[in-house]
Structures are given as C-alpha cells and as structure tokens.
Amino acid sequence: MFMQNIRRSTKKHRKVLLAVVLLLMLGLVGSFATWGSRSGLGGVSSGSGVDGYDTLEQQISLYFDYVKRLEAEANDFSAYVTIASNYRELSTLYMNKYNNDSSEIIALDPPEYDEEGNEIPLEPEQQAERALAEETYNAAVAAAEVWLDASHNSAGWAADWYQKALDNAPADISDIGIADIKFNQAEARYMQDEKEIAVLLLKEANELDEDNINYILNLAYMEQELGDLEGALACYEQASDMYPENANFVATKASLNADMGNTEKASVLYKEARAMAPEDADIAYSYASFIFFSVGYEEGLDEMRAFRASLPEESPALTRADEGLANLQSWADLFASLVVEPTDEDSDADTQDKEAADENQDTTGVNEEEVPDQQ
C-alpha cells in the first residue's frame, strides 16, 4: 500500500519518499552509539535521516506523515520498534528546529544604570520601543517553545512504542536485544527530560548486557548529571576494569573524587592518568585545574607551564596546552582583581581604631584592688 502511494505521487515527491524508505532500511532503527561521552552527552544524534531537503519543516513533515502511516498498519514487534525509532528521530528534528529558531532570537538590551546603581528611566518614546521589543521577543520565544514541546512529546511517544515492543517481544529474543531496546527507550526518556526514568532504564540495560561500554558511560554521565557522584564513580570503576589502559577513565575517576572531597585519592589518580598519557593536554589541564583550586593558583599555573614545556616542538597538544594555560591565567587574573589591596587611608584608619580601643580599655578597665568594699 505504501508503494502504491508513492506511485500516485508526483515525480518529485516519489524521490523524497523513496529516499526516506531507503534511509530507514539502511539502519535508521539502529541504536544511538554516540549518545554520550566523557565530557557529557552533548545532545542527541544530530543526523536528521532525511538530510538534503530544503528545510527542517520539510523533513519534519515527511517524518510525521510517514510515522503516522506506519502507526495505522503496525501489528507486530518489528513495526513497534520501527515506529519508536522514527518518533525518536522526529524528536531530534523538532529539537534542531527549536535550537535554530532560538539562536535567531534577538536578545533584549539590558537596562542602563547610573553611577549609584540605580536604573536609568526611559523616555516615553524609548518606553514604547522597549514595549514593542519585549512583545516581539516574547512572541519569538513562545513560537520556538512550540518546537521544544513537540520534541518532548515525540520522545514520549517513542518511549511508549518501545515499551509496546517490549511487551510484545518474541520469546526467543536475547537479553542483549532487550537491553538494546531499553537503551533506546532511555534515550527517548532523556530527550523527554525524564532523566530519573532514563537512569533506571540504563541500569536495566546494563544489567542485561554488562560488557557494553556504551551503556556504562551513558549511565555514568546520567548519574553525574543527577548529582549521584558515587554512582558515576562506580560506573567508571567498571569501565576502568574493562579498559585498564584508558587514561581518560582514570582522569575522570580523579575528577569525581575531587568533586566528592577526596583530594588525596584524586591526586593519586591524576598522577596515574598523567603517567599513562604524558602528552594528553586535556588530562594535563584537568590535573592543573585540580591543583589550581585545591592547592594554589601559582602551583596550578606552574603545573600547566611544566606540561607545556615538556611537549616536543611539533606536538599536536601544544595548541590545547596554550589554551589551557591561558584559561587558568584568566582565572588567576580574575581572582586577583577581586582582592582589595589596603590603602594608606585604610592603614591610618586601622591605627586610629587601635588607639581608640586601647584608650577605651584604659578608661574602662577596672582594677580589682581599687574597687571599694560595698559592704
């Protein structure tokens, strides 16, 4: 029936719909293998599945029409998984549209203040311009948030269809197959901003497929995002056991220990990671930052300078090292600017206060021997 609909379409639309079908056949229903990373999820998959068409609105329209057609004919496990995957992709398209529209919204100019910190009132003409600008801004924000709501709704539908697939899974499906569906369902819940539910699903996926590093790292990220540092650390311990030569895992364990206040353990792990990857600028910067904030500004800068000096002249890490050093230096400059140096007037005032306090002590102090007997 679907192919009959294609034949009834115009030549242009036939090409579009056939492209959608081919892309779906080439693996649109696959898992989101790059969902997370050591530095964070960074959002969901950026691929639309129908790249090359003029606008996101066109891509969204194609996906929406197609998935609704699939829903009308779905009657088995495979169809439920396909529908869920398409809703998940549709959610990504909606989010891309929201991000694009949000980036084009012109922010309102902040109010101006006088030297005493009081807001400078606007002239009547300026007030009218400000009111119009606020109206335009609020309308643009509301229009963009329509796409955000659509993204959350589509993600929720994806999660529901994954659950329907699980409820109707064939008896011979493996634990790994179930884990994959739960993992994709977790992604959909995350896209829906249901992060606690996503964590539970990721844990279930990890229990079914304990050797899947992708599940472990995404669970670690989610635990950390929700504030469960111990849970995140346990995940990275598991990852380190699986890949003992991975310096990034060791460095992340160091960072988590530092965040938990275990500075001695963090220092040991950072040194271990640095020894494992002596030319890794990101690990070196993380360690220098740890020293910068836990020991001292100059000590952290010295650590980063020493790393920079240790690199060969043609090392690709030089650029990152310079960026890290500049960043730490900017932090040091900022903190230095916040320190108020005492002035001569401050010193004079302190001296006067001390003299006044001494004089007051002399006049109010009571010598017990001079106290007359009141009896």
Phi, psi (rounded to 5 degrees) for 192: -80, -5
Domain of residue 136 covers: 1-29+38-110+132-209
**Residue 171 included in any domain:** yes
**Residue 232 included in any domain:** no
The total number of structural domains that make up the chain: 1
Residue 212 CA to residue 179 CA, distance in Å, equals: 10
The answer to whether the beta carbons of residues 154 and 188 sit under 8 Å apart is no
Residue 291 CA to residue 328 CA, distance in Å, equals: 11
**Residue 276 included in any domain:** no
**Residue 94 included in any domain:** yes
Q: Name the packing angle between helices 175-191 and 124-167 (round to 10°).
A: 160
**Residue with tokens 């379409």, as numbered in its chain:** 9
Beta bridge partners of 113: 119
**Residue 353 included in any domain:** no
**Residue with tokens 């549209």, as numbered in its chain:** 97
Residue 70 corresponds to which tokens in the numbers above?
Answer: 């699939």
**Residue 174 included in any domain:** yes
**Residue 10 included in any domain:** yes
**Residue 75 included in any domain:** yes
Residue 240 corresponds to which tokens in the numbers above?
Answer: 């380190």
pLDDT tens over the chain, length 375 residues: 323 332 323 333 333 333 333 333 333 333 322 233 322 333 333 333 444 456 889 989 998 999 999 999 999 999 999 999 999 999 999 999 999 999 999 888 888 998 888 999 989 898 899 999 999 999 999 999 999 999 999 999 999 999 999 999 999 999 999 999 999 999 999 999 999 999 999 999 999 999 999 999 999 999 999 999 999 999 999 999 999 999 999 999 999 999 999 999 999 999 999 999 999 999 999 999 999 999 999 999 999 999 999 999 899 999 999 999 999 999 999 988 887 555 566 556 566 666 666 666 555 444 444 444 443
